[in-house]
Amino acid sequence: MILQIGLFGGAFGIVLLCAGALFVGLLLYVVLTYNRLITLRNRVENAWSQIDVQLKRRYDLIPNLMETVKGYMKHEKTVLENVTKYRAQLMSGGVEERARANNMLSDTLKSLFAVAENYPKLQASENFKLLQEELAGTENKIAYIRTAYNDAVLDYDNALEMFPSSIIGQVFGFRPQPYFETPEAERKAPKAEF
């Protein structure tokens, strides 16, 4: 009888040890997954802040461009008003609102530069040329960083959707992030008309 109790106690100890190891392993997995989700979320936030820096740079360049253009383009009031309107929208709201304002501002700036071609003196202005080059460089940086942001969102959202990290993400309140998307109208190839 005593021998049976000793064997039972030893087997119980082994089961208890295995259960403890399983619990520690599970806890370690939860901690590592949580930390990975935090890292991915921080990458998304960092990528957005990089976009934000470039949007702010463009935001700051636009008043100089507007002052340079105003003297030449007195009859293009609508284009100038739209640049001002979308510039104001660019610095407020969430990712979707700011992405929409960014796209509208990009379109309006394209219109502004197209209209500027009708003003040879403006085209010859060194200040206008410099501002145009700086804005083009900023647009390229925004496009590059936008790609990095969307890649970070993809990694983060994938981690939130994959099992079993999806369970940990739900438990700790992680939410998917929106992509910085191009509007539907810009996705279509332009028609070349002659």
Q: Is the pLDDT of residue 189 over 60?
A: no
DSSP for 89-155, please give it. Answer: HHTSS-HHHHHHHHHHHHHHHHHHHHHHTT-HHHHH-HHHHHHHHHHHHHHHHHHHHHHHHHHHHHH
Kindly state whether residue 173 falls inside one of the protein's structural domains.
yes
Mean pLDDT on 69-90: 79
Residue bearing the bigger pLDDT, 167 or 67: 167
Nearest Cα to 54, choosing from 151, 182, 140? 140
Kindly state whether residue 158 falls inside one of the protein's structural domains.
yes
Kindly state whether residue 44 falls inside one of the protein's structural domains.
yes
- The pLDDT tens digits of the residues spanning 111-157 come to 888 878 888 777 777 888 888 888 889 989 998 999 999 999 999 99
Rounded Cα gap, residues 166 and 10, in angstroms: 38
Kindly state whether residue 24 falls inside one of the protein's structural domains.
yes
Kindly state whether residue 102 falls inside one of the protein's structural domains.
yes
Residue bearing the bigger pLDDT, 10 or 148: 148
Kindly state whether residue 192 falls inside one of the protein's structural domains.
no
What pLDDT does residue 93 have?
81
CATH assignment at residue 107 = 1.20.1440.20
Kindly state whether residue 186 falls inside one of the protein's structural domains.
no
Nearest Cα to 79, choosing from 108, 46, 117, 113? 108
In which domain, by residue range, is 52 found?
A: 2-180
Kindly state whether residue 150 falls inside one of the protein's structural domains.
yes
Number of domains in the chain: 1
